[in-house]
Structure 1
Amino acid sequence: MLLFGFQSFAQNAEMEAFKDLFNSEKKMALGEFLDLETSQSAKFWEIYNDYTEERKDLANRRIALLKKYAYQYGTFTDEQASEIVKETFSIRDQSDKILWKYYKKYEKEFGAKTAAKFVQFELYVQTSIDNELQTAMPLIETK
């Protein structure tokens, strides 16, 4: 039991380190992509930090969903498959709502082009992650 708890802690610590590294690299790439003026930078990153904080729960829900999928793979009941699909759509819906909320904040502060460029970057990253996950995940067996 103690070993399992330690292993779980180590995996969680590793996951947190990975998320921190990913977010740091993503932020650097976004900064290069947007090429903000110095006068805009502080306000942009203040809003962005709020955005990433608001998305943390979604990231955790998505990781939990992937773990659930992996754990139940090959033994899915119809009910479990339905729960996974419902949670997937719930996460996507919430993600879109948060992105729209922050698009409007950026549009108000920096104009539509900068806000649209932010959305373009976010959707590119999200789509890239989705593509990688879909490529790596085995399909649900129906037989």
Structure 2
Amino acid sequence: MTLMEITLQALDAAERAIPAGQPIFMLNLIRYRAQAHYEDGFDAAPCSGREAFDERYRPAFRRLAAGKPLVRVFSVPVLASLVGSPSERWDEVALNEYGDFATFRSIVDTETYRREVAPHRHAALEDFRLFAVAKAT
């Protein structure tokens, strides 16, 4: 399956749907590639998808998010699927908490993210889902 990008249209729609200033969680469902697959021209040593995500994508994302109100990141392995298609397999679930949607957008809607951070996510992941969800009150 081809990874889908976060589009400008998706960011705009989410921004309209989520009240300004509302704290949010970004729920990530993650499936890793056995071997990271970088696009031609991107210079990176061979590694597994999990290594590309943990050792390249996450540190690059944290550097880009430094100084922004990213409250915390919670990431755990998926042990079993109880409901869903047998072909739908997830390796990990990550929950990132942000002060608001504008903070998330200010990170991912940049040329620096597209050039220096996203290539590691693309190389690492076979598939993923991303949902903006409300922080429980």
Which protein has the bigger strand share? Answer: 2
TM-score w.r.t. length of structure 1: 0.29
Q: Could you say which structure has the larger radius of gyration?
A: 1
Higher relative contact order (CA 8 A, sep 6+): 2
* TM-score (normalizing by structure 2): 0.30
User: Of Structure 1 and Structure 2, which has the larger fraction of its residues in helix?
Assistant: 1
